[in-house]
Amino acid sequence: MAELRPSGAPGPTAPPAPGPTAPPAFASLFPPGLHAIYGECRRLYPDQPNPLQVTAIVKYWLGGPDPLDYVSMYRNVGSPSANIPEHWHYISFGLSDLYGDNRVHEFTGTDGPSGFGFELTFRLKRETGESAPPTWPAELMQGLARYVFQSENTFCSGDHVSWHSPLDNSESRIQHMLLTEDAQMQPVQTPFGVVTFLQIVGVCTEELHSAQQWNGQGILELLRTVPVAGGPWLITDMRRGETIFEIDPHLQERVDKGIETDGSNLSGVSAKCAWDDLSRPPEDDEDSRSICIGTQPRRLSGKDTEQIRETLRRGLEINSKPVLPPINPQRQNGLAHDRAPSRKDSLESDSSTAIIPHELIRTRQLESVHLKFNQESGALIPLCLRGRLLHGRHFTYKSITGDMAITFVSTGVEGAFATEEHPYAAHGPWLQILLTEEFVEKMLEDLEDLTSPEEFKLPKEYSWPEKKLKVSILPDMVFDSPLH
């Protein structure tokens, strides 16, 4: 639960949590990390020292449900001469390290990121006659913060969030989000590391799909050129009833050209998916997806998980020859990627004892495979083929309902264990599929109806017998069963 109140200093704090503290002691009434961010707010809003603020009644570090201690709400007059409307500016406190005493975030030094390294902001167009900021954006920010804390996956500029619901629970077409650097907030050096500010930008479904097929930064630049759709400061207007492509049809041509020229920067998604080895009977003791030890469930090994993590991290790197990183137990940091780095990969087992030792799993070549996707994941296959593989890149589906992954690779990707001689290969529950350009073109023809999924009924099956490959698009409920 949260409460709304004005704030000068954003409230008192509890005594530091037990445990070692790396930095020197500070006054508990105004934590240094919070003070540094508040100073940036005061720079931007010197005439609003006591903004309205949504505060968590029970702090997260005391067992409360809301990771953000505070969300401050400022009134921004915009810039009429630059066609920037008046709006409400929301700023979070809590994704970065506010306290430095390990109660929420581990203190790792002043040179790296503070906590997760960022705070969220949001700019909402002020309605005529509106005297106080709506509070629903604060709960939206809490929802995103919960995802970050629970998954330990961070965000970065250009990321997209598929929300599938009006952000304000109305009938609005603004149902998804892109993330970008805040238009005015500058990075802050705190005693506990650096904090940047990522701004949430509300978008329509069509704009989200274009960001997936091309890249988030490209769509953000287009939104900046359309005043009613965001303008230079990317201000969200929940009453916007048209997409940027309906407002200016020429923008679709720019997206299509960008896809053709650049391909897609989306290198992977979490999805409802599964795969079967059709060349081996399911009752075979030596199942292709893993080697089971006793009654332990099939799990991606730690090294497989690391390589998938690095595969996704390197998704944005534009190389003459994209490379899948070797299986390596050492973490590598600071790599570019379309989904931000994770301090804990979502494919890791909840119990380390359930992870199959890497040395007991060998890479196997498969003769025939069956891929299974739900409708939402299947709709991304043309993007995977046209936007990634035809541009010499790779694309990974990692399962959210089971411990497995599927990576499509082109012949231009080095480091894959799938080869042209053996295009289907598995390392434990991680399947790689190498597709030639000729076969990709054939698949795109056959999968054309996936771009209009409302026109077909589930289940839907596609088969290429000469390639010994089958793809099924199945209802969600299939993936919710224990078998997947």
Q: Does 289 fall in a domain?
A: no
Q: In whole angstroms, give the CA distance from residue 199 to residue 179.
A: 6
For the stretch 9-64, pLDDT in tens is: 444 433 333 333 434 444 457 899 999 999 999 999 999 999 999 999 999 999 99
Query: What are the CA-CA distances from residue 222 to residues 219, 230, 244, 393 (Å)?
Result: 5, 9, 8, 25
pLDDT at position 28 is: 52
CATH number at residue 427: 3.30.1360.230
Structural domain contains residue 407: yes
Return d(Cα 22, Cα 28) in angstroms, integer: 15
Instruction: Verify that 195 and 217 share a domain, yes or no.
Output: yes
* 226 and 273 share one domain: no
Domain final residue, candidates 232, 262, 292: 262
Local confidence band at 338 (pLDDT 50, 70, 90 cut-offs):
very low
Report the pLDDT averaged over residues 239-246.
98
pLDDT value at position 297? 36
Residue 345 — pLDDT band, cuts 50, 70, 90?
A: very low
Range of the domain at 421: 268-279+361-478
- Mark whether 244 and 126 lie in a shared domain: yes
Rank 200-214, 268-282, 343-357, 397-411 by mean pLDDT and report only the highest.
Answer: 200-214
pLDDT confidence of 281, banded at 50, 70, 90? low
What is the average pLDDT across 303-319? 51
DSSP letter for 324, please.
P
Give me the pLDDT at residue 409, please: 96
* Mean of pLDDT values over 353-376: 74
Mean of pLDDT values over 410-434: 93
375 and 231 share a domain?
no
Q: Is 158 left (phi over 0), alpha (psi -120 to 50) or beta?
A: left
| Distance, CA of 80 to CA of 425 (rounded, Å) | 59
Confidence of residue 302 (pLDDT cuts 50, 70, 90): low
Specify whether 238 is located in the same domain as 273.
no
Q: Maximum distance among all alpha carbons in the chain?
A: 72
pLDDT greater at residue 356 or residue 436: 436
- Is residue 189 one of the residues assigned to a domain? yes
Domain membership flag for residue 346: no
- Quick check: is 296 in a domain? no
Mean pLDDT of 224-229: 97
Residues 208 and 273 in one domain: no
In a domain, 343, yes or no: no
Where a domain ends, among 208, 233, 262?
A: 262
Residues 152 and 254 in one domain: yes
Distance between CA atoms of residues 251 and 239, nearest Å: 21
CB distance 325 to 310 below 8 Å? yes
Number of structural domains in the chain: 2
- Per-residue pLDDT, 453: 64
